[in-house]
Amino acid sequence: MKNEIETETLASESLSVRDKKHLWHPLTQHKLHPEMLGIVSAKGAVLYDENGKEYIDGIASWYTSAYGHCNEYITEKVYAQMQKLDQVVFSGFTHEPAIELSEELIKLLPENQEKLFFSDNGSTATEIGIKMALQFHFNQGRKRKTMLAFEEGFHGDTFGAMSVSGLSVYNGPFAEFFIDVERVDVPTDENIEAVLSKLEKRLQQNDIAGFIYEPLVQGAAAMKMHTADNLNRILKLLKKHGVLTIADEVMTGFGKTGKPFASEYIETKPDVICMSKALTAGLVPMAITSCSQEVYNAFYSDDMAKGLFHGHTYTANPLACTAAIAGLELLQSEEIQVGIKRIIGSHQKFNTRIKNHPKVARTRQCGIIFALDLNVKMERYGNLRDQMFKHFMDNGVFLRPLGSTIYISAPYVITDGQLQKIYTTIEDLLNSI
- From 300, 331, 362, the end of a domain falls on 331
- Tell whether 240 and 299 lie within a shared domain: yes
- Residue 248 is assigned to a structural domain of this protein: yes
- Tell whether 114 and 164 lie within a shared domain: yes
* DSSP 8-class letter at 173: G
- Tell whether 344 and 321 lie within a shared domain: no
- Tell whether 57 and 90 lie within a shared domain: no
- From 331, 361, 381, the end of a domain falls on 331
The per-residue pLDDT for 167 is: 73
Q: What is the CATH number of the domain that holds 57?
A: 3.90.1150.10
- The candidate with the shortest Cα–Cα distance to 71, out of 411, 365, 431, is 411
- Residue 13 is assigned to a structural domain of this protein: no
- Tell whether 278 and 323 lie within a shared domain: yes
- Residue 5 is assigned to a structural domain of this protein: no
- Residue 277 is assigned to a structural domain of this protein: yes
- Tell whether 348 and 252 lie within a shared domain: no
What distance in Å separates the CA atoms of residue 186 and residue 188, rounded to the nearest whole number? 7
- Residue 233 is assigned to a structural domain of this protein: yes
For residue 148, the cross-strand partners are 182, 211
Q: Which regions of the chain are under pLDDT 50?
A: 1-2, 5-9
Number of domains in the chain: 2
- Tell whether 204 and 187 lie within a shared domain: yes
- From 331, 346, 362, the end of a domain falls on 331
The pLDDT > 90 percentage for the chain reads 91
The pLDDT > 70 percentage for the chain reads 96
**Can you tell me whether residue 67 is helix, strand or coil?**
coil
Pairing of strands 244-248, 208-213: parallel
Domain of residue 398 covers: 37-70+334-432
Q: Do residues 298 and 139 touch, judged by C-beta distance below 8 A? A: yes
**Can you tell me whether residue 63 is helix, strand or coil?**
helix
- Tell whether 157 and 272 lie within a shared domain: yes
State which H helix or E strand residue 336 sits in.
helix 334-354
The per-residue pLDDT for 164 is: 94
The per-residue pLDDT for 381 is: 67
The per-residue pLDDT for 1 is: 47
- Tell whether 240 and 91 lie within a shared domain: yes
- Residue 11 is assigned to a structural domain of this protein: no
First to last CA, the chain: 54
- Residue 41 is assigned to a structural domain of this protein: yes
- Residue 73, judged by CB atoms within 10 A of its CB (0-12, 13-18, 19+), counts as middle
- Tell whether 66 and 82 lie within a shared domain: no
pLDDT in tens, 179-192: 999 999 999 999 99
- Tell whether 50 and 136 lie within a shared domain: no
- Residue 23 is assigned to a structural domain of this protein: no
The per-residue pLDDT for 378 is: 74
- Tell whether 61 and 108 lie within a shared domain: no
The gap from C-alpha 176 to its chain's centroid, in whole angstroms, comes to 26
- The candidate with the shortest Cα–Cα distance to 90, out of 250, 274, 320, 304, is 320
Q: What is the CATH number of the domain that holds 122?
A: 3.40.640.10
Helical H runs in 31-152? 60-63, 72-82, 96-108, 122-138
Q: Which amino acid is at 352?
A: T
